[in-house]
Copies of this chain bind each other. A is one copy, B any other.
Amino acid sequence: MRGVIMHAPGDVRVEDRDDPTILEPTDAIVRLTASCICGSDLWPYRGAEPVDHAPMGHEYVGVVTEIGADVKNVKVGDFVVGSFWSSDNTCEICQAGYQSYCVHRTLMGTLGTQAEFARIPLADGTLVATPGQPDAELIPSLLAASDVLGTGWFAAVAAEAGPGKTVAVVGDGAVGLLGILAARELGAERIIAMSRHADRQALAREFGATDIVEERGEEGVARIKELTGGLGAHSVIEAVGTQEAMHQAIRATRAGGHVGFVGVSHDVSLDGLELFGAGIHLHGGAAPVRQYLPQLIQLIWDRRIDPGKVFDLTLPLEDAAEGYKAMDARRATKVLLTV
């Protein structure tokens, strides 16, 4: 099969890879309908994380072509969406809703879903079948559920977005934008998008943002305070992963408020005394997307949400390198790869 390999930072190629096969009786093989490039794929692409001939991709939707002997919840022919962490969905951690920390988890990125096929470990606890074969127009949104929507949703839940709440969102990438959509779905009263890009501001408003703040860092914090009677937001979503973004999120949150952080941290260090002084709640990490998949698939199936709008560039898998370039240069927010 064909699949993406990142040889080194900046060097992405589509090459022949071995077709995946069932290795464990709990595996399934999925023929991918679409995959995509994640903001987190840019860290190695930019040399901020080591990379050496790695298969890439951890977001996926497609059709089951083969199942292991123990797989019971999905069957050949099912159209499925899965999370970027595989999970058994039965351990104590999974049962508590933290499938991304399952005691048996595997990171899908190590398997590489920017490809024609993928082996999905723990298929029963990882994959969720859609109610039927989806219309083509639903594919982007279902693919978004696999990571960016699920991650934005978790960020909004972790930030305790809800009725009566003012939510601020740090980061206008796909996850931040879908954090806005999630905050709206969760009933937030006011949603402040922090963005200085006109196209992303427009999508933020479409997804439910009521206010836009263009300032960043301390100025951005001051602006959020100004908009919230000097107190800060009740809920802040951090969807970047840098020191500046994390500080911005923590400092823009009122005492007793909640920060939901989902940007993969890079060189972030938090001062204990600042946290003590802030009096906020801090929760985040790898989103337990599997927890939300049934609910998110239904919302998409019923056409109540359209998270697929974050894809502003669609390319065939063979042109994956061009997709990485476009996202790196911020010419695209999120690239969908058709397989």
Contacts and interface: CB of A to CB of B under 8 A. Distances in A.
Interface of A: 92-93, 96-98, 100-101, 103, 229-231, 241, 243, 246, 254-256, 261, 264-273, 275-286, 288
B286 A276 contact: yes
A261 B282 contact: no
Q: Is the interface of A mostly helix, strand, loop or mixed?
A: mixed
B270 A265 contact: no
Nearest to A242: B272
B97 A256 contact: yes
B286 A256 contact: no
Interface centre among A246, A255, A273, A286 (most CB of B within 10 A): A255
Contacts of A265: 271-273, 275-276
Nearest to A274: B265
Nearest to A102: B255
Given A101-B254, A269-B272, 8 more contacts: A92-B229, A100-B279, A265-B272, A265-B276, A269-B270, A269-B271, A279-B286, A281-B281
B93 A231 contact: yes
A244 B101 CA distance: 24
A269 B274 CA distance: 10
A20 to B, nearest CB: 27
A262 to B, nearest CB: 8
A88 B327 CA distance: 50
Given A92-B231, A93-B231, A98-B256, A282 B276 contact: no
A288 B279 CA distance: 10
Given A101-B256, A255-B101, A270 B275 contact: yes
A83 B3 CA distance: 62
Contacts of A268: 271-273
A33 B283 CA distance: 42
10 contacts: A92-B231, A93-B255, A96-B256, A100-B279, A246-B272, A264-B273, A264-B276, A268-B271, A268-B272, A276-B285
Contacts of A254: 93, 101
A199 B217 CA distance: 49
Given A93-B254, A98-B279, A277-B285, A103 B270 contact: no
B273 A266 contact: yes
Q: Give 6 closest A-B pairs by Cβ, nearest first.
A: A268-B272, A265-B272, A101-B255, A98-B256, A279-B285, A270-B270
